[in-house]
Homo-oligomer: A and B are copies of this chain.
């Protein structure tokens, strides 16, 4: 690999920019986002995410595979930039950095970009506020084999560093579309995709509904639950029976329970 640039001064404008990219406005202005950590960067490369820059600090490396990752990134077009230990600590987002921080190109998928099988399973989430929850929802959708995740009216943006981290790289694999709720509904309807929505007000348990066939599981925001819009348009309003405290299940847990029941039914379990 070519001799990388090296930066050690904490006043360097490039370091300042990396810190600025934690803010959504700075990310969106440049059309980029941050990916920190060996595992996440490796997955981004595997999934064809375009890395513009890969900042690295050998003083923080945890393993022996980092040079190979750097070589792969450089071969894929990333500019390598070496940082000193202190400089990297300044730009690292994680509490325990591992010496790898990439700047990647944002992408945008629309509903029409989605290529779905005849009987798709989709997760639709509405107004999610916490990046950690969005990341966990992505993981749950990935584990359940969802063909796409549609993020409606997001409060947090999908390129937030905490979404990247909490999704453990699933963000790079699961087809993900950001859209407004009415547009999503207008897209689902003619495709015959039924809408299952969990709400405490539903009479039917989620296990009593037929979750086979083309299905979108819709989950509402942490604080307000599903909006009137989705409640009114739900073909299958269902409830998850709850013992214990009313708020013991958060949105990610409720989504995982519902998605895996759909998987059970669809695989004849």
Contacts and interface: CB of A to CB of B under 8 A. Distances in A.
A60 interface: no
A243 to B, nearest CB: 3
A143 interface: yes
Interface of A: 43, 136, 139-140, 142-145, 168-170, 173-174, 205, 207-208, 240-245, 247-250, 252-253, 256-257, 260-261, 263-264, 267, 269
Binding site of A, secondary structure by majority: helix, strand, loop or mixed?
loop
Contacts of A243: 142-145
Nearest to A267: B241
Contact of A253 (B143, B169, B207, B264): B143
A242 B145 CA distance: 8
Number of copies: 2
Given A253-B143, A260-B257, A244 B170 contact: yes
8 contacts: A139-B249, A142-B243, A143-B240, A144-B243, A168-B245, A168-B248, A173-B245, A205-B269
A267 B240 CA distance: 12
Contacts of A252: 253
Given A243-B145, A244-B145, A269 B208 contact: yes
A158 to B, nearest CB: 17
B267 A264 contact: no
A253 B252 CA distance: 9
A264 B211 CA distance: 15
Contacts of A257: 256-257, 260
Contacts of A245: 43, 139, 142-143, 168-170, 173
